[in-house]
Structure 1
């Protein structure tokens, strides 16, 4: 029987059974087990892992474990630029795009508000999320760790916080999105680009008095809603500014 000693660091411990957290422990491995197989068998999605050291040497997920190996597993490092963070093995992401699962219905429109193409449908089965993420090179956002263990999902984030605005801050910090945000570019409902329209085109799609108080308008060609820089826009602008300006957490050891 093959047995290896494992040690998980920082937030990866959140996925482990309590007796295994923040300490080295021995664990029996399946025959011909890879590092990925055992890491996920212990409860940690592979998308949360940045670095694996076996006996002090960096290895990939497909590394076969041997009896007596010492395995150290580290989380995504926080103080990295967006492209290195999102580079996975041989395939980098060219554009930052997301797909959010049914648990994140409040986060999806906030990411769209920040200008990030984000698919969301609370009826998506896990298989559809997996297929769309692979076909369109999207980052999977979820509170379901089992979803992130699916083989073809290579880019993903397990969301730890519960409130949508805090979830937005979490994603911004983990993926260093402040420099990539383009607020007010997408429709919050339809996830398609907004376009400017002349005041004359607005017609009855805005309440009485809005045309007199505002000069600039944008619209969504799917839902045909019209938007302008009112008090709601100002609140959303303040949220975007606060998220983009939030100091990043330092790298933890």
Structure 2
């Protein structure tokens, strides 16, 4: 008890800050690998560490020597096994939102036009039950993904997107990559999600949409080919069956900010109300 009291009395503010930072980093690492293959591997490593210490305490020298050598050389194996998670973590650290609050730095009119074209596209695909997969590049570049498809570098229009996703056309099965006001590439292949806890009913298109958001900060729109339901994937999470108001808000959030976003949503709601009255 005296030892505990002495430690408590000698704790400085900088020690509390130090422990707080360590706890925060551990929490972030856990959140980063949660529900991934790395979580199970980390549990295995922790068990090996405990067994190693127990074997030393119980003077089981052969077991201790074997485990100690395994752990020493296992550091290299950890970097190999966890390469995807390490890359994901470094990308997470490298992200910053201090200098940008939207993916587009154009004027409000241009941003609103892009959103209208996207809304028209998604609405049309949903009504006709045509599958669609649209990836919005943010701060983390997706050049390596874009290179798996066909370079477009064209303006965002409902006609162009509709032609890309039209059934039986060469590019309709792949994903469209959008960067700012331009369609960067089409017919792109996306990595499938590594989340093994996903519902078995989730199809390949949705798994691909989740997979790309697990390794980057992009946002992905998905239109189901079977039901026409629209979903959004972001930060490794899937939001199913979103309505057009929610979708409009998400797009407005990317292509505008503050009062511009509110004005865009207000004009769109008013236009919808007028159409209902008619």
Calculate the TM-score normalised by the size of structure 2. Answer: 0.17
Q: Which has the higher strand share?
A: 1
How does the TM-score come out when normalised to structure 1? 0.18
Q: Which entry has the higher C-alpha Rg, 1 or 2?
A: 2
